[in-house]
A and B are shown apart, each in its own frame.
Chain A
Amino acid sequence: MTEFLLKISHLHAFYGDLQVLWEINVEVYPHEVVAIIGSNGAGKTTLLRSIAGLHRQRHGSIQFQKEEIIHLPPHRLIYLGLAEVPDERGIFPDLSVEKNLLAGAFSLKSAKAVESALVWIYKMFPILQERKYFLARSLSGGEQQMLALGKGMMTKPKLLILDEPSSGLAPVMVARLMEYIKRIHEEGTTVLLVEQNIYHALRIAHRVYVMENGRMVLEGSSEELFRNERVKKAYLGR
């Protein structure tokens, strides 16, 4: 077995006295697309915020490339190659598209690296180049999600974590978004995403975790889960 990129073990998370995550174990290997699915309130967003350190009331172990990162402040992660697009997309509404992308490249030291990242992202998302002087808030929901992806990819991270990228998008936009995520994966970035849309998650991901009430209840390859009776009943309505 190859070395894991991200390994979460025995993770528990709390809001004050209220425990919301129990004994979470997740592994992500290089060049995978892994999805975490589950209904509203299952704790998916809390899990992603716990990984990034945005939610700090948690204990257990989170290893990224064998390095323990649970005690690191959130702003250090991107320097290690871990980027996350949070549930509110993490874009800056009153900055132009281009400045959003430049902020995404904040961790890059040289101006040359920033410039070539910008060229690369504009090639991947031509719409962002067309809109580069527009304020992020004036973009459509789909374009804003493109911007969030572009901003997250500016440093060409090893792992990109996405919190429900499809939320609030029209079906045709969701399909395009999934194409972009595939494209990002083909560029060599490993993807961990949370999805409520089970069909999309099963189609795009190699492996899937199912979360219920703050616990992982199932794990397997997409094909396995697609045939799983419990998943069929609970999520696919068949």
Chain B
Amino acid sequence: MFLQQLVNGLIIGTMYSVVGVGFTLIFGIMRILNFAYGEFYMLASYGAFLAYSELNLPLWVVLPSMMMVLFGIGALTEKSLLKPVRQRTLDWSVPIIMVTLGLQIVLQNLALIIGGGTFRGVTTYLKGSLDLGWVVVSYERLLILGVSVILLIVTYLLIQRTKFGLSMLAVSQSRDGALLSGINLQRVYTLSFGLSAALVAVPGVMLMPLLYVYPTVGQVPIMKAFAVTLLGGMGNVEGAILGGILLGISETMASAYVSPLMKDGVAFAFMILILIFYPAGIGPYLQQMHQKVVHR
């Protein structure tokens, strides 16, 4: 029972990690919270529902195409709604946060008008399960695990090993330093916004059978994103990966051993507890440990 819950929590946690990484990336680079982040998830979920159950496209087509569509939507949002604000004032953080908050409401209302308020969804992408004796895992959850692990690795390598990743890291730490090195800030902002939306498209597609899709479904991932980001340290990618897994496990445990009704409550109480002792999140401590290992 305990192992089963641990495995379930770990698997859902890796998806929360993906949700958290996309959110924390934008905070790290632009120092803003993207309140429309959950709505990017919602759009990907609706898109997956249409493509998978109306157009009968296979999942391996649906997933990458939703990532591409959301990359475009994210980049376009940045370019058409946020960039004009940035160009008019140097103090753009708060106005841009308000723009994303407005966009959240507008997209929710549009979804309500176009799609109606009903819950939609598919029962499952993959049937059957794997019985290992000590633990039973459905193929669908294995797929979720595989997709999120691959995505996290690819994202990590993109950030750490590519020139674009270096420019994101540079911008997140010193805008002047990045500009003077020849890094085009506008371009980094636009591409990172696209990347962030493409990342959250993955849980949008993969979790649709579990969470269904409705106009305000974005509330669920954005709450997870907040929790994971705070837990991991604002803007800290490694922290968000670990934070997502911690949140997934604590949610599952709370649901199994306390009450399914207390799932979110217990998980968030746990988060508050960690923040009391580690106000900057666990990310900075991960980094210190990493430094010690490297320089021993």
- Interface residues, chain A, CB within 8 Å of chain B? 52, 54, 73-79, 83-86, 88-95, 99, 102-107, 133-135, 138, 151-152, 155
Interface of B is mostly: helix
Within 280-296 of B, Cβ neighbours of A (below 8 Å) are at: 287, 291, 294-295
Contact between A133 and B295, CB atoms less than 8 A apart? yes
Which listed residue (A73, A79, A86, A105) contacts B176, Cβ 8 A? Answer: A86
Contact between B182 and A78, CB atoms less than 8 A apart? yes
* A107 touching B173 in the complex, CB below 8 Å, given contacts A99-B166, A134-B295: no
Beta-carbon nearest neighbor of A76 in chain B: B182
Contact between A86 and B166, CB atoms less than 8 A apart? no
Contact between B176 and A95, CB atoms less than 8 A apart? no
Contact between B179 and A75, CB atoms less than 8 A apart? yes
- Interface residues, chain B, CB within 8 Å of chain A? 163, 166-167, 169-170, 173-174, 176-185, 287, 291, 294-295
CB of B174 to closest CB in A, whole Å: 6
Residues of B within 8 A of A54 (CB): 176, 179-180
Given A88-B174, A103-B170, 15 more pairs with CB closer than 8 A: A54-B179, A78-B180, A78-B182, A83-B180, A86-B176, A86-B177, A91-B174, A93-B174, A95-B170, A103-B167, A103-B169, A103-B178, A106-B167, A106-B183, A155-B182
* A74 touching B166 in the complex, CB below 8 Å, given contacts A91-B174, A93-B173, A135-B291: no
| A-B residue pairs in contact (CB < 8 Å), sample of 26 | A54-B180, A73-B179, A74-B179, A74-B180, A75-B179, A75-B180, A75-B182, A75-B185, A83-B180, A84-B180, A86-B180, A88-B176, A90-B177, A90-B180, A91-B177, A94-B173, A94-B287, A95-B169, A95-B173, A103-B181, A103-B183, A104-B181, A105-B181, A134-B295, A151-B177, A155-B182
Bound-complex Cα distance A133 to B169 (A): 16
CB of A66 to closest CB in B, whole Å: 21
Residues of B within 8 A of A52 (CB): 179-180
Contact between A90 and B174, CB atoms less than 8 A apart? yes
CB of A10 to closest CB in B, whole Å: 24
Contact between A77 and B180, CB atoms less than 8 A apart? yes
CB of A105 to closest CB in B, whole Å: 8
Bound-complex Cα distance A95 to B183 (A): 16
Beta-carbon nearest neighbor of B236 in chain A: A94
Residues of A within 8 A of B167 (CB): 103, 106
Contact between B170 and A92, CB atoms less than 8 A apart? yes
Bound-complex Cα distance A133 to B183 (A): 23
CB of A73 to closest CB in B, whole Å: 8
CB of A219 to closest CB in B, whole Å: 26
Which listed residue (A94, A103, A155) contacts B166, Cβ 8 A? Answer: A103
Which listed residue (B176, B179, B181, B183) contacts A151, Cβ 8 A? Answer: B181
